[in-house]
Amino acid sequence: MSDNSILITDLLSLPATVDEVDYARRGYHLDVALTADRVRAMAETLLRHEFYLVFASAVDLAPDAEVVYQFARHGSPCRIMARAYVRRDGTVPTIADIYHGANWHERETKDMFGIRFAGHPYLQPLLLPEENAELKPLKKSEKSIKLPADVRWLPEEPAPAAPAAPAAPKAGGDTPTTPEQG
Amino acid sequence: MDISILPPELIRIVISAVIIIAFVFLNAMVLGYAERKLAGYIMRRPGPMEVGPQGILQLMIDGVKLIGKQLIVPKESGHALFRIAPLLAFIPVGLAFVVIPFSDKLQARDLDVGLVFMLAIMSVNVVAVLVAGWSSNNKYSLFGAIRSVAQNVAYEIPMLLSLLSVVLMANTLSLKGIVLAQHPVWYVVCQPLAFIIYFVAGLAETNRAPFDLPEAESELTAGFHTEYSGMSFSLFILAEYTNMFFVCSIAVVLFLGGWSGIPLPFYAYSGGIWFLLKVYALLFVMIWVRWTYPRVRFDQLLNFCWKYLIPFSLVNLMLTAILVKLWPVVF
Amino acid sequence: MTPEAAKQDKHTFVLNMGPQHPSTHGVMRVILEMDGEHILEPEPVLGYGHRIQEKMGEARPWPGFMPNTSRMDYLSAMIYNHGYVSLIERMTGIEVPRRAEFIRVITDELNRIQSHLLWLGAFLLDLGAFTPIMYTFDDREQILDILEDVTGSRLTYCYHRVGGVARDIDEKFVERTRAFIARLRSRFKPIYYDLVTSNIIFIKRVKDVVSFTPELARRYGLTGPPLRSTGISYDIRKNEPYSIYPEFDFEVPVGTKGDCLEVYNIRVAEMEQSLRIIEQALDRLPEGPFRNKIPRKVKLPQGDATFSVETARGELTYYLVSDGSDVPYRLKIRVPSFSNLSVLQELCRNMLLSDLVMSLGTLDLVIPEIDR
């Protein structure tokens, strides 16, 4: 736990907002929200804390899309979802020189969403063909696109209403997954 | 036509040539079948079973299929050389049969330099591989050719050195002479190291696993014969199998007493039968090795040759020379 | 950079390996900048088998994506099933009966063993040994037969269900699985050890060729046996345990140096550990229902969740964003081979062609998984 408190302090000083969330329900321990220009600082902090990059991708939302990064640690379990808002065809600083594995993830994100990564060494199509550069298959249409508030966990208030049934067994520790203390 | 007007020597040559070509094809068929059946046995599967009893006619059908296939010549290849290469691989294999002593009477020509002649003929194969790889104008083929040349040139040295030890003992280069010289004891007893070195180098010379780098399937798709199809491809395979036969027959002649053996019921043929039995026993070992070992890496292959085989064969040759000189003095 | 210097000084050339090449294990292409037999710069080219699975996941109600999960990594199909149903269960809070959890673990581990067996054969084939693949396929066939009996398919299973599994296993399954465990155990020593592991040529080929380091693994998100070969004991089954894995006694084999021989040894040891897990699960297999009744149409609650499982190749993570309907709003699938392959460029610089083939084999790639 002390390990995580140092980490949280470091993340807060980026600055970023850090929420400790219910692992059993969401599968990750920390929810980090930050601005796009702090992404590199976050990556450096997390690399220092010996995290590895699980994936980097995006979620297409209106008015701004969300670039999401998931990090995890080889030591004591800690999974981090980090998100930064960016214009739907905007630019985020690359972390491919900090986490080299991000290189391909960022190329794939560019393929699928059209989000560009500033400073990326080789931002060429990875999975999609080069010919059809306009095709952004995972972008949502105007009709189906949602606001960020539509895809967030609702605060405590509706818990007894919609996910009442799931909430009960979870409290009993009967979900398939054993909750892990970070 | 009255054939008596032809010189008898010419008739003899024609008949021998026909027999040799037939033997080359037959040998490839037998070996091809043996290889597939043995591979099957080693892998615990039946191997070819469909054509004929126990799949014995499979190779015949394969031959017909290969003859019927179109010869594809890549547009960018060197056309003339591309067509010449398979012939260059195949023709020398006929020549080498001239000196092989199948038995004391069954030998076309007993040349004084029989061993040198045979080795010289066998090394023409490298040229064929190089020409094939070069003219295919394909990088994988070229890789195969380069590897083949480097490998064959390197492995010819320990091969010759180990054979030289035997020649020193027999005091002749004639193959028949060498067989006769091993009268009470076969040379494999006096020269076990030379035999092992020769056999390993022989595996490398014939590009057999674990030294099959020129056609390493997982790396070079098919190596030097990537672009060959149909009969031109099968000529390479025929040449490969025949070269295996030569490597083993040299081993039999120089180390395993040639045709000598306990007389069999058909006394007249006993020598020939013994000779072929020994050759095919060695070929069996070659096949066995192929289906057991993984492939070595290229630098390991050359290191093995230059750092182990050549020094050991040199030492062996030196010891042989000294012993041969000292033997009459001491006893 | 060395490749740049070499390009100017020497005669280099480009060798195109794939998309049709025996050693890329699928439709993948590696463009190699070569100097003789040495590789200056390998550049993997992906996407030949891209089917945009993520979009398919976002285009239909979540149960409709179940069959797709088994068509990414066709060798770990069962584990992909498991990850997806567990993610849905995590979001909706649907419970799984205990018997179903046991069945899931047993089928997962059988699936893992067959994947490792196939890898073992294919890896040796890359090294030029033709025989082991026949032996491993012989063993693998037993698993496929066992699983075919209960799931109806041999490779692309769609067996796990939200709230349980599709069909119950019977006495016959248990018997056959026990027989298989005994059979495979009896074959490790005489076949795999004597033929392969103790072979001098094999050892010389794979020892000390590449070196995976913990630092490299972190930078690239390397997971699975290559990561464990560096000495990091990281297995999702242990580190973020899911299902009922904490109840079983098994070890996570690790290496020290991070070379290909260790990756090989780890995979072989993992097969033995999987056998142990299966054996324990069969011993303790509880009676009871194999599936809970769930409503016809289950909506996913609004929000996002992620679920990671350990496939035969490494960490598989599903990340699902839901807007409250039964159609996922965003489904991201993080596949292990994708990150594992991205190491290639750094790992295989200045390497021999044969070693590149061997390294590709070590990473145990399934190309449709990378392309998705």
Q: CATH code at C120?
A: 1.10.645.10
Question: Is C364 part of any domain?
Answer: no
Contacts of residue B18, defined as CB under 8 A and 6 or more positions apart, other chains included, come to none
Nearest to B294 among C37, C135, C199 (CB): C199
Please determine, for residue A113, whether its predicted confidence score (pLDDT) is greater than 50.
yes
Question: Is C22 part of any domain?
Answer: no
C24 DSSP assignment: S
Nearest to A47 among C87, C218, C339 (CB): C218
What residue segments make up the domains of chain B, in order of their start?
A: 72-330
| The predicted structure's pLDDT at residue A164 | 39
* Residues of C with Cβ-Cβ distance to A101 under 8 angstroms: 219-222, 339, 342-343
Residue of A nearest to C91 (CA): A25
Please determine, for residue C1, whether its predicted confidence score (pLDDT) is greater than 60.
no
The string of DSSP codes covering C26-84 is SS-EEEEEEETTEEEEEEEE--TT---HHHHHTSS-GGGGHHHHTTTSTTSHHHHHHHH
Q: pLDDT tens digits, residue range B199-240?
A: 999 888 888 878 887 777 667 777 788 888 888 888 888 888
Distance between CA atoms of residues B52 and B71, nearest Å:
28
B183 vs C9, higher pLDDT: B183
Which residue type, as a one-letter code, is found at position C243? S
Distance between CA atoms of residues C183 and B58, nearest Å:
34
Structure tokens at B241: 């199998």
| The predicted structure's pLDDT at residue C8 | 61
User: Can you give the C-alpha Rg of chain A in angstroms?
Assistant: 18
- Indicate yes or no: CB of B42 within 8 angstroms of CB of C37: no
Pair C113, C143: CB distance under 8 Å: yes
Q: Are strands A64-73 and A51-59 parallel, antiparallel or unpaired?
A: antiparallel
Q: Are strands A30-35 and A79-87 parallel, antiparallel or unpaired?
A: parallel
* Residues of B with Cβ-Cβ distance to C12 under 8 angstroms: none
Pair A90, A115: CB distance under 8 Å: yes
Nearest to B218 among C16, C126, C201 (CB): C126
Distance between CA atoms of residues A176 and C85, nearest Å:
11
| The predicted structure's pLDDT at residue C7 | 54
| Four-residue CA torsion sign, C241, C244, C246, C249 | negative
- Nearest CA to B149 out of B19, B301, B43 is that of B301
Mean local confidence (pLDDT), C104-113? 91
- Nearest CA to A149 out of C178, C26, C188, C321 is that of C321
Structure tokens at A63: 């008015």
Residue of C nearest to B296 (CA): C201
Q: pLDDT tens digits, residue range C152-174?
A: 888 888 888 888 888 888 888 99
Q: Which of residues 4-23 of A touch C (CB under 8 A)?
A: none
Please determine, for residue C94, whether its predicted confidence score (pLDDT) is greater than 80.
yes
A2-171 is classed in which CATH architecture? Answer: 2-Layer Sandwich (3.30)
* Residues of A with Cβ-Cβ distance to C222 under 8 angstroms: 52, 101
| The predicted structure's pLDDT at residue C23 | 76
Pair C169, C103: CB distance under 8 Å: yes
Task: Please state, in angstroms and as integers, the Cα–Cα distance from residue C73 to each residue in A110, C19, C26, C157, C234, following that order.
Answer: 24, 18, 12, 11, 21
| The predicted structure's pLDDT at residue C181 | 92
Question: Is C213 part of any domain?
Answer: yes
Q: Are strands A91-93 and A116-118 parallel, antiparallel or unpaired?
A: parallel
Q: Measure in Å the smallest separation between the Cα of B279 and chain C Cα atoms.
A: 25
Residue of C nearest to A129 (CA): C47
Question: Is C9 part of any domain?
Answer: no
Please determine, for residue B22, whether its predicted confidence score (pLDDT) is greater than 80.
yes
Please determine, for residue A165, whether its predicted confidence score (pLDDT) is greater than 70.
no
| The predicted structure's pLDDT at residue A163 | 41
| The predicted structure's pLDDT at residue C47 | 84
- Indicate yes or no: CB of B139 within 8 angstroms of CB of C37: no
Distance between CA atoms of residues B259 and B175, nearest Å:
11
- Indicate yes or no: CB of B294 within 8 angstroms of CB of C352: no
Please determine, for residue C347, whether its predicted confidence score (pLDDT) is greater than 80.
yes
Distance between CA atoms of residues C182 and C279, nearest Å:
10
C304: β partners: C321
Please determine, for residue B290, whether its predicted confidence score (pLDDT) is greater than 60.
yes
Q: Grade residue B50 by pLDDT with cuts at 50, 70 and 90.
A: confident
Please determine, for residue A116, whether its predicted confidence score (pLDDT) is greater than 80.
yes
Please determine, for residue A175, whether its predicted confidence score (pLDDT) is greater than 50.
no
Q: Measure in Å the smallest separation between the Cα of B226 and chain C Cα atoms.
A: 12
Distance between CA atoms of residues B290 and B241, nearest Å:
13
Q: Grade residue A179 by pLDDT with cuts at 50, 70 and 90.
A: very low
Helix (H, G, I), strand (E, B) or coil at B286: helix
* Residues of B with Cβ-Cβ distance to C195 under 8 angstroms: 292
Pair A13, A48: CB distance under 8 Å: no
Question: Is C260 part of any domain?
Answer: yes
Residue B122: phi, psi to the nearest 5? -65, -30
B109 DSSP assignment: -
Distance of CA C324 to the CA centre of its chain: 32
Using CB atoms within 10 A of its CB, is residue C161 exposed (0-12), middle (13-18) or buried (19+)? buried
Nearest to C338 among A81, A98, A104 (CB): A104
| The predicted structure's pLDDT at residue C319 | 92
Q: pLDDT tens digits, residue range C281-302?
A: 999 888 888 888 888 888 888 8
- Mean pLDDT, rounded, of chain B: 84
Please determine, for residue A171, whether its predicted confidence score (pLDDT) is greater than 50.
no
The chain C residues in contact with chain B (CB within 8 A) are 13, 15-16, 21-23, 37, 124-131, 134-135, 138, 195, 199, 201-202, 204-205, 352-355, 357
Task: Please state, in angstroms and as integers, the Cα–Cα distance from residue B111 to each residue in B97, B177, B260, following that order.
Answer: 12, 10, 20
Number of domains in chain C: 1
| The predicted structure's pLDDT at residue A168 | 38
Distance between CA atoms of residues C140 and C113, nearest Å:
8
Q: Measure in Å the smallest separation between the Cα of C268 and chain A Cα atoms.
A: 22
Question: For residue C173, what are the domain limits?
Answer: 53-339
Share above pLDDT 90 across residues of chain C, in percent, rounded to a whole number: 14
Cβ contact B–A (≥3 pairs, < 8 Å): no
| The predicted structure's pLDDT at residue B2 | 63
Structure tokens at B117: 């002649």
Cα angle at C142 between C138 and C146, to 5 degrees?
Answer: 165
| The predicted structure's pLDDT at residue C2 | 55
Mean local confidence (pLDDT), C65-87? 89
Task: Please state, in angstroms and as integers, the Cα–Cα distance from residue C106 to each residue in B269, B286, C66, C139, C281, following that order.
Answer: 65, 44, 19, 17, 7
Q: Measure in Å the smallest separation between the Cα of C20 and chain B Cα atoms.
A: 9
| The predicted structure's pLDDT at residue C131 | 86
Q: Measure in Å the smallest separation between the Cα of C30 and chain A Cα atoms.
A: 13
Please determine, for residue A161, whether its predicted confidence score (pLDDT) is greater than 50.
no
Cβ contact C–B (≥3 pairs, < 8 Å): yes
Distance between CA atoms of residues C171 and B162, nearest Å:
64
Please determine, for residue C190, whether its predicted confidence score (pLDDT) is greater than 50.
yes
Q: Grade residue A182 by pLDDT with cuts at 50, 70 and 90.
A: very low
| The predicted structure's pLDDT at residue A174 | 41
Distance between CA atoms of residues C89 and C80, nearest Å:
14
Mean local confidence (pLDDT), C327-343? 89
Q: pLDDT tens digits, residue range A59-90?
A: 888 888 889 999 998 888 888 899 888 888 88
Q: pLDDT tens digits, residue range B118-158?
A: 888 888 888 888 888 888 888 888 888 888 888 888 888 89
Share above pLDDT 70 across residues of chain C, in percent, rounded to a whole number: 97
Per DSSP, which regions of chain C are E strands?
Answer: 13-17, 29-35, 38-45, 160-161, 164-165, 303-310, 315-322, 330-334, 351-352
Residue A49: phi, psi to the nearest 5? -85, 15
A15 DSSP assignment: T
Distance between CA atoms of residues A120 and B21, nearest Å:
65
Whole-model pTM over 0.90: no
Contacts of residue A166, defined as CB under 8 A and 6 or more positions apart, other chains included, come to C92, C93, C94, C301
